[in-house]
Amino acid sequence: MAKLPSQREETLGGYIVHGIPFPTSTDEEALEFLKKMAPIQIEQEYKITYLHSYGQDSPWFAALTNKRLIASRDAESGYTTANPRGADMYSGNETKWIDITNVPAKVHAFTVCYFGSEEFLPETPFVLALIEFEGVNTLLLTRLMGVDPQAPALDWIGMEVTPRFLRNSKLKPTDVYFTPVNSDQ
């Protein structure tokens, strides 16, 4: 039988502390001080690995990883959404996936973002666009690249665009973006 350790092994880490008050005497009167003691506050980095699932949207992200763009279609009504949906939002019917990678697409609307979340702040300004696909009932919100965000123009609306994909997928909606059809990007 293995011998159990009699004390916990010390490891590196912990905190270097200075000036935490504590009475030198342990009699009852001296320990009353502890009731009035301010809370000790510690600032530390907190990191967690978070496991989550894309659930019914997993095929959409798998398609992006494989340089494909798919949409959800209700087999009964034909209503098609450019973003992933496992069930039709009107009938509740299970949807089927269709490939829209090569379906003609154009800019429906756009905005130039001069501020963004922490992740996108270094990339500002950037262009967000609603993309309209032939035969698809909803729009897809995505990045528009290959245009100058410093010189937005109304002629971007209706401009034909094509999907582009990150070379190394990050399994995020930003794995797909659009560029003008005549762009070299």
pLDDT tens, position by position, 113-151: 998 887 778 889 999 999 999 999 999 999 999 999 999
**Residue 11 in domain:** no
**Residue 151 in domain:** yes
The pTM assigned to this predicted structure is 0.72
- Range of the structural domain that residue 133 is part of: 57-180
pLDDT tens, position by position, 12-63: 777 777 777 777 887 888 788 888 888 887 777 888 998 888 888 999 999 9
**Residue 78 in domain:** yes
**Residue 51 in domain:** no
Q: Which long-range contacts (CB under 8 A, 24 or more apart) does 164-173 make?
A: 165/64, 165/67, 169/61, 169/64, 169/65, 171/54, 171/61, 171/64, 171/65, 173/142
pLDDT tens, position by position, 161-177: 999 999 998 989 999 99
**Residue 23 in domain:** no
**Residue 52 in domain:** no
Structure tokens at 185: 């990007």
Q: What is the mean pLDDT of residues 96-103?
A: 96
Number of structural domains found in the chain: 1
Residue 85: HSE in the Cβ half-sphere, 13 Å Cα cutoff: 21
